[in-house]
Structures are given as C-alpha cells and as structure tokens.
Amino acid sequence: MEPRFEGKTALVTGAATGIGQATAVRLATEGAAVAVNHRPGTDPGETLRRIEAAGGQAFAVAADMRDPAQVVAMVGEAAGRLGRLDYVVSNAAVNPLMTWDETSIDDFNELFETNVRGTWVVCTEGARQMIREGHGGAIVCVSSISAHVGAPGQTAYCGTKGAISMLAKALGRDLGEHGIRVNAIEPGWVKTPMAEPLLAQPDALEYYTERVALHRGGEPPELAAVIAFLLTDDASYVTSATLLVDGGFIVNAEL
C-alpha cells in the first residue's frame, strides 16, 4: 500500500474496536504514527497488535470522552509523544438503544457529553495544537446517517449525530484560515460491535439488508478508506463537507 502518510501523525478516538480501530490500522499501515485512544477500562491491544503486524507505529492513550479534562490531557499527551499533530479523527461515541420515553435526563446528558461535547473538545484542542505548530492539518468527525433519519429507539442519539455533522461544517469554516480542513462522514449500517445490539433485534437484519442498495452492511475498513481519503492531499479542496457512506440506505429511506 502506498505510504501516503509517511512522516505524518494522527490521533484516532474510540480506536479499540470498529471504525476507529480500522482507521488507526489504515493510517499506520500507510506510514502515519498513530495515537490510539480508548476509554479507560477497555483494551486497545488488538488495535496495537494489528498495527505492529502491519509494520506501523502506534501507542495507546486512555481518555473518557465524557470528561473534558481527560480529553484535553489526551490531546496534549498524543501531540507530545508524536512530536506533532497532523490529523484528528473523532470517532468515539456511544449508542444505548432507548426510546424517547425510556431516556432519562442522565441518559440524555451522557449521550451528549460523550458524542457531542467529546467531539467538540477533541476537535478544538486538536485544532489549537495544529495552530500552535503552524502547519495546518485535517480533522474528520464520524457522524451517522442518524443525522438525517430518525431511527427508532435512538431518538437522543440521532440528535447527537445531527449536532456532530453541523459542528464539522462550522469548524471547517472557522479553521480554514489556519489551513485546517474539517469534514464528517455519515456511516450507515456498519458491522461493528456498536451495531450488534441493534441487529440482534427481531427482523432488524432483514430490514436493513432490504433497504441498503448494496444489500449488505459495510465493513469497518471500507469506512477507514474514506476517512483516509479525506485526510490526504487528494482532498485538499474538501472542507465543511459531510459525506454519506451508507451503501445507499438513505436513498431508500427517502422513498
């Protein structure tokens, strides 16, 4: 694989599993040194093993996205150990399946603290670091098709993803003068541990398979490939964009 990120550095949040893991592996395989974020109490070992097996460089850095102080410290540690910070991929999120009337204020707050405020802090702290270093950079936020579709049993989660997509748009506008690009991807059904509880529900797998134009779920490396593109110079004139990566689910959901 062409080393498009040789000499570059990246911080990927929520990289112990799923899309974050695949992204960290992809960037490291292409030459980037990667800070692999994971929530305290979770094991990033599989991600680090895959990167090592591919000949890449990475280290783990723990932070709970609900705690702004931990996130700020994480960015500082990542930049310090990497020597510079070129890219941030804000992927960490939670999605407990709860209907609107099952969602307590505490549940709501935890969702927004993790998904929205966590995204805000890691992106803005990452941007501050890039500005101090003076070389520009690129940020990709992982949103969701739930920014567009009111998925059942995910009412508050949908709100968080709508917020993330708009934050990426607005940050891209504000950070352009510093040479920092900000974009978001909006995945559909992807085969990750987060999706397993949803697909375990009766008829859910059939529902999604029928409505995805490609009639299958996405694989995490497919999402990682899109994120990697948005970080490369091939996307040098792309900022404040939100890119659907859903296998054609939205087109059927709109019928």
- Give the list of residues 6+ apart from residue 174 with CB closer than 8 angstroms, or none: none
DSSP secondary structure string, 29-54? HTT-EEEEEE-TTS--HHHHHHHHHT
Q: Is 157 a catalytic residue?
A: yes
Residue 26 Cα to chain centre, angstroms: 13
How far the first Cα of the chain sits from its last, in Å, is: 40
Bridge partners of residue 87, in order along the sequence: 10, 138
User: Which residue of the set 90, 144, 146, 165 is catalytic?
Assistant: 144
Which residue do the tokens 């490291």 mark? 28
Q: How far is it, in rounded angstroms, from Cα 171 to Cα 181?
A: 8
Other CB atoms within 10 A of residue 171 CB? 24
Q: Are 191 and 161 in contact (CB under 8 A)?
A: no
User: Which residue of the set 8, 90, 146, 161 is catalytic?
Assistant: 161
User: Which residue of the set 8, 157, 165, 208 is catalytic?
Assistant: 157
30 token code pair: 């292409």
Q: At residue 136, what is the residue type?
A: G
Q: How far is it, in rounded angstroms, from Cα 186 to Cα 246?
A: 7
Residue 169 Cα to chain centre, angstroms: 15
Residue 238 Cα to chain centre, angstroms: 17
Which residue do the tokens 């948005």 mark? 230
Q: Which residues are known catalytic residues?
A: 144, 157, 161
